[in-house]
Amino acid sequence: MASGYLITGGLHLDGLMDTFDGIFAGKKRRLKAMKDSNVGSFGVQALVFITLIQIACILKIQNLIIFVLPICLFWGRFSNLFFIEKFKYMSYKKKSISHKKFWNGFKKESLISIIFLSIFVAYQFVSITSQAILIKFLILILIGIFLSYFIPNILGNKIGGFNGDACGASVVLVETAMLFMHAILL
């Protein structure tokens, strides 16, 4: 967990905290709360709960974390493709560069991810010998697709669009939800 925070500079966690502060600030103050450099109580609570859930899941998964974590990271980042495709960009500033400025559409943007996922799934089909494990694997793939669409959809509807903070929140929430599902099913 700590290495992920260091690699990203805590960017996604900051987005999670800002998004939760914005959601609970109310519709009129949402963007102002998200823009505020001070973290509010809802942001701190979100960080604590997410961290505790992640620690519990890692303790449950133990040695399988080396296989599970890349899958969780994949779905977390893939969720932003749905987010950007479906929602309009919300900015704190008048002049802001949006992810949509260079957006080529979901099909083109997701092509490499889908190829990677297909290769990974094909490899698993070849290497998994137990039918029970294969069924769990397929269920987790379907859950990953569902969560990657569902979580950004909830966030986008709640805040009225997407921005960098909401994208960071989506990454963290999908990663944590996938980690939790692996902890339950493994």
Q: What is the mean pLDDT of each run of 10 residues along the chain (186 residues)?
A: 84 94 89 87 95 95 88 94 91 64 87 91 84 87 95 94 92 97 91
pLDDT in the model for residue 98? 63
Residue found under tokens 């950007």? 84
Closest residue by Cα to residue 153 from 139, 172, 166: 166
Q: What is the pLDDT of residue 21?
A: 94
Rounded (10°) CA dihedral 115, 152, 66, 55: 180
| Chain centre distance of CA 79 | 6
- Please give the Cα distance from 19 to 13 (Å, whole number): 10
pLDDT at position 178 = 96
pTM of the model: 0.90
Q: Residue 37: what pLDDT?
A: 85
How much is the pLDDT for 95? 57
Do residues 185 and 179 lie in contact, with contact meaning Cβ atoms separated by under 8 Å?
Answer: no
Going by C-alpha positions, the residue among 17, 26, 29, 167 that lies closest to residue 86 is: 167
Spatial distance between the Cα atoms of 80 and 57, rounded to a whole number of angstroms: 23
